[in-house]
Structure 1
Amino acid sequence: MIGAAAFVRNAHLDIFAANALARALHAEALDSDEQPPSLARFVFRPPPDGPTTAGRASPTTRSAG
């Protein structure tokens, strides 16, 4: 597939390689000081200034029912 975002990850959601489009789509998660970057850490570890991505999604998920 030409023009598709692609990355290589393991079972722990650590990202080991990504093409240019995947880097653009996941830039915030990939610009981590911790290596390798991890989608799990990005979603569940709280940033210094607010709730986690999962925490921001919880009120929306609860009110959808």
Structure 2
Amino acid sequence: MPEVEFPAPVWRKSSHSGGGNDCVEVALFAERVGVRDSKNPDAGALSVSPRGWAGLLGAVGRA
């Protein structure tokens, strides 16, 4: 079976982050949302469903 190459994810920070490395970065995949620490991007990423991501954003918005 031939190898399939996927494009590299495009990681982005919130426009509200203040420009420092004190936030998280997100990348959108076909059916997942990747979240990683902007200070240590090589440490790996958390993968959540779009529904889980929406729930997290809703919870943070109420905090």
TM-score class normalised by the smaller sequence: under 0.3
Higher helix share: 1
* TM-score, reference length from structure 1: 0.25
* TM-score, reference length from structure 2: 0.25
Higher strand share: 2
